[in-house]
Each structure stands twice: as structure tokens, then as C-alpha cells.
Amino acid sequence: MQRLDRQQLANLVFLTLIWGLNWPVMKMGVSNYPALTFRALSIMLGLPVLAGALTLMKVPFRVPRRHWPELLALTLTNMLIWQVCIILAVQSLSSGRAAILGYTMPIFSAIIGSLLFRSALSRRAWLGVVAAAVGVGLLLWHELTGLAGRPAGVALALMAASTWALGTQMLRRTRIPVPTLTLSFWMTALTGVVITVLALVIDRGAWHMPSTAVNWAIAYNAVMVFGYAHAAWFFLARGLPPVASTLSVMFIPVLGVFAGALWLGEVLHWRDFAAMVLMVGAIASVLWPSPPPVAAGAAAQTR
């Protein structure tokens, strides 16, 4: 297991708060506004924030042409499919349950890593994956009847989670020789262009002036989510082993559930609190430092 340095830990804390609170924010944003248009506006308004960060930090924008195909594959799996599928899922599901389904991603990531990339996981990592899976099951337990009537939303959220899991595995293994912030900018820009085209085709007939609440939701997503959080996530995903980066953010759906209950009146149950304990255990399983290995000489002396 890998210990987080101070910068990674700070990014993880802020990322958890921003993404966790964003689930009810997104629900408020798309409840009375076209979902794809909401997402397109959020990305396109957040892109200048991200570009400004690159400029201030003197990070290059250029990606060598030979790496464009890999950049497109990373964009498709890490951003585009996730953004389209999850915003449509949020529109039909409660914010908390959409968050829970979206964060089945670590479970998919462990399976994909094991089957496709031959990633050997320690016993402690598998225990973390199992704890996360049980936590997700508990959070969904009370909702199974309600979710049965929304198969499209459930399918979209699971599609988003599984594709994001594949993208995380690919991002960890990329050899594109540019800073993570550069990758984040281009993945966000390419995603924004495609979703804008989709919004023009699908949502145009439903366009209207957004309300004050929708404007605030768009602003939050533009600055906090697309201006900061996605770049922070790519920094973690590229710098940590996939299982560590994915399980480290498992507190986000718990925060999403509780924020939804506070802001939107979504009902909590004892399973939500039990799931919170399991999610914390899942995070600890990959982030708690392991004891240093005993040297062979020291082991021999103890015999």
C-alpha cells in the first residue's frame, strides 16, 4: 500500500468535499433544466478556469501528436461517457442513490484490474473492495423497490461507473509525457465540445432561461468541479495505484447521501450509517500505512 504525501492528502480532502456536496447540487440543477445543457454550460464555463491555472503555473498545453489517439481513449473512458451517463442518471434518480451507483466504480476497477491488467491485489485491498461493495448494497437496500421503476437511470449510472473504472486503470498506465494538468485540460475540453453538440441536438427544444438555483449549480460545477476537482482526481489517479485512488474516494457517496438528506429532504436509514462505517473501513484498507517488511537478517535473528 502507498502512503499519501501531504499534497495528495489535501487534494483528497478537498475532492471529497467538493464532489460529495455536488450530488445534491447537480440534482437541483437538472430537476427543472435540460441535463446535457446543464453539463455543457458547466464544462465550457469551467474550461477558462482550468486554462488560467495552466497559464499561471506555466504548464504547457501541447500534447505531442503521436499521443492523440491515447488522449482520445482516455477522454472517452475518464470523462465523456461518465459525464453523459451520470448527469442523465441524476435526472431520474435521487442524488444520493445516483452517487452510490456511480461509486460502484472501485468494485469495477478491482475486477477490471485483475482480469484485464493482471493486477495482483493484497488481501487487505480485497477486504476493502468487499467492504465497499457491502456498503453500496446497504445504501441501496431501502431503494431497491424504487429503483426497479427506473431501470434506465440505474443502467446509465452503472455504465458510467464501469467505464470510469476502466479509464482510471488506463490513466494510471499512460505514458503520455505531459503533466497531469495538461491531460485534464484536454480531456475536459474535448468532452465539453462533444456534450455541447449533443445538447444542441437533443435539448434545444427545451431550452429556457435558467433559474437562480440552476445558475448557482452551474457556477459551482464550473469553478469547483471542472476548474479544480477533476484535475485533482486525475492527479490522484495517476499518482496512486488504481485500487488506492479509487477506494480513497469512497466517502464521497456517503457525503452525497447525507447532503441530499439535508438539502433535498431525502430520507436516511440505519443502513446509511452502517454503510458509512464500511466505507471508512474501505478507505483505511488502502491508505493505512503497512508495517515495514522484516529484513531477512532480522528475521533470522529472531529464530
Residues 6+ apart with CB under 8 A from 212: none
Note down the domain range covering 118: 6-289
**How would residue 303 be classed by pLDDT, with cut points 50, 70 and 90?**
very low
Asked if residue 299 belongs to a domain, the reply is no
Distance between CA atoms of residues 186 and 76, nearest Å: 12
Asked if residue 298 belongs to a domain, the reply is no
Asked if residue 174 belongs to a domain, the reply is yes
Determine contact, residues 1/289, Cβ cutoff 8 Å: yes
Tell me the range of 111-125, 198-212, 243-257 where mean pLDDT is highest: 198-212
Distance between CA atoms of residues 107 and 289, nearest Å: 22
pTM score, whole prediction: 0.85
pLDDT at 62: 96
Determine contact, residues 97/271, Cβ cutoff 8 Å: no
Asked if residue 83 belongs to a domain, the reply is yes
Report the share of the chain in percent with pLDDT over 70. 87
Number of domains into which the chain is organized: 1
Asked if residue 302 belongs to a domain, the reply is no
Rounded CA Rg of the chain: 20
Asked if residue 294 belongs to a domain, the reply is no
Distance between CA atoms of residues 206 and 242, nearest Å: 40
**What is the 3-class SS of 60-124, one letter each residue?**
CCCCCHHHHHHHHHHHHHHHHHHHHHHHHHHHHCCHHHHHHHHCCHHHHHHHHHHHHCCCCCCHH
Residues 6+ apart with CB under 8 A from 250: 103, 106, 132, 135, 279, 282, 283
Over residues 41-58, the mean pLDDT reads 96
Tell me if residue 221 falls in helix, strand or coil.
helix
Asked if residue 301 belongs to a domain, the reply is no
